[in-house]
Amino acid sequence: MNVLLVYPRFPDTYWSFRYALSFQGKRAAQPPLGLMTVAALLPESWSKRLVDTNVERLRDSDLAWADVVFLSGMHVQQQDLVSIVRRCRAHGCRTVVGGPIASSVPASELEADHVVIGEAEDLMAGLARDLERGEASAAYQAVERPSMERSPLPMLSLIRMNRYSTMTVQYSRGCPFNCEFCDIVEIYGRRPRTKAVAQALAEFDQLYAAGWRGPVFIVDDNFIGNKVRVRELLTAMAEWQAAHRYPFRFITEASLNLADDLHLLQAMKDAGFASVFLGIETPDESSLVAAHKLQNTRRNLLASIRLIQQYGIEVMGGFILGFDTDREDVFDRLVDFIEKSEIPIAMVGLLQAMPGTRLFRRLSGEGRILHAGGGNNTGCELNFLPRMNSTRLVEGYRSVLRRIYDREAYYARVRAYLSRCRPRYQANISFGNVRALCLAMLRLGVLGKSRLSYWRFLLAAATRHRRSFGAAMTMAVMGYHFQIMTERIAKAEG
């Protein structure tokens, strides 16, 4: 049987990093790890192809080849996913849709022949057998959450690595916390499940053997959810990195209580972690309590962030506006907090009530849900009625974005971060890096709107922050992406 695995497009948002990736000549940030893993779960006798529409076109010849098309995606990809499903139907292809979107969107809205709800490890063998017999059911739903030790090596051979800026590995699923707005605990549970250390090392071996050198994103929603197991992994990772001369720079997501464990921070530093995304959400403790983000309460947020930064690990911060408890001063307080924390990459979004979350159920019961939403929390569309005036909330959100990504403010924040934390990126002299630097000097230093600010920043990076020059240049092009997206939002306002 010929199976075509298709990944829908992501819309352009702050999260797409599209305009930063162009400096590197990359087409997308990360490959579709879920589909690569599903491919490995399907029968070896099946012929498999993967088309990631974020990096290449889906051709009619691909659909003519396929007996069945598997699609996966997130809520934010729904529009493109449904468009592809309809195109498959027009070509006479059967479709199977799974992934996070299948756990949060009604099957009827996905328009597929077959929907897989939940994690795939326990379902793929039965689904494949039924497809071969022509007896497949409309829906397959996982009864239990499977052991991660049943997850196979993803089929790396299905992608072209040079199209992506970062490779991906999954170590765990689930999170021990219970934030009201989060769908992770609803889909994957509150008891984090992990792979064996040997499994994770095998994935690193596979990437290394394929020639990958550079950033690797451990995509867990909370990498430190099971601290006992992650300590074992980090010890092995440090040994693996040393044996292979540190080929990877690791990135992950974690909870802010990472700052409470100095031994864990040191272990992450030793293993080669350069960045961690933290859901900080808001400096307002009453909002944190109301959202059940209790792991961020009863602590000095700034001190926690700075402690992590001191270990040479860059903090990327996630922030949310639109909580019921937000007051009129929340916008100024958030900008002030971001400036004081010296977090260069601050991802600020409007609260989204995602289907399947406790927040969605609560607001639905209160009659405040407007629609299911599109999954993009960095646009300006609300899918619920907030307590604050909607117009004021959106205006305040736009004002925050304009202020934190103003070119002078952004460069000043990056310089302050570099001065205090001195991060070190392994920025080797390569064609790709030289190309990126030359393009940056052209687009930001010659054609850019704030040329003088860029040249001052470049001079400071080359003199006062030489050890962090790679980090500085990366942050400059990241800022370029954020500034373009902010300008788009401002134009939409007009």
Each residue's pLDDT tens digit, 32-65: 999 999 999 999 999 999 999 999 999 999 999 9
The answer, yes or no, to whether residue 426 has pLDDT greater than 60, is no
Q: Is there a common fold for 2-141 and 166-400?
A: no
pLDDT value of residue 378: 85
Domain 166-400, what fold? Answer: TIM Barrel (3.20.20)
> DSSP letter string over 212-262?
--EEEEE--S-TTSSHHHHHHHHHHHHHHHHHTTS-EEEEEEE-GGGGG-H
Looking at the chain, the whole-number percentage of residues with pLDDT higher than 70 is 98
Predicted local distance difference test score (pLDDT) of residue 429: 61
Element (H or E) spanning 131, and its range? Answer: helix 124-133
CA gyration radius, the chain: 22
Residue 27 burial (C-beta neighbours within 10 Å; 0-12, 13-18, 19+):
middle
CATH topology of domain 2-141: Rossmann fold (3.40.50)
pLDDT value of position 428: 60
How do the domains of the chain map onto residue ranges? Answer: 2-141, 166-400, 417-493
| Model confidence pLDDT, tens digit, residues 154-201 | 999 999 999 999 999 999 999 999 999 999 999 999 999 999 999 999
Q: What are phi and psi of 361, to 5 degrees?
A: -65, -40
Q: What is the pLDDT of residues 202-217, one digit of tens each?
A: 999 999 999 999 999 9
Residue 493 confidence (pLDDT):
63
The band of 427, judged by pLDDT with boundaries at 50, 70 and 90, is low
Question: In the predicted model, is pLDDT for residue 232 greater than 70?
Answer: yes
Output the pLDDT for position 433.
82
What rounded mean pLDDT belongs to the chain?
95
Q: Give the pLDDT confidence score for residue 425 in this predicted structure.
A: 61
Mean pLDDT calculated for residue range 253-281: 98
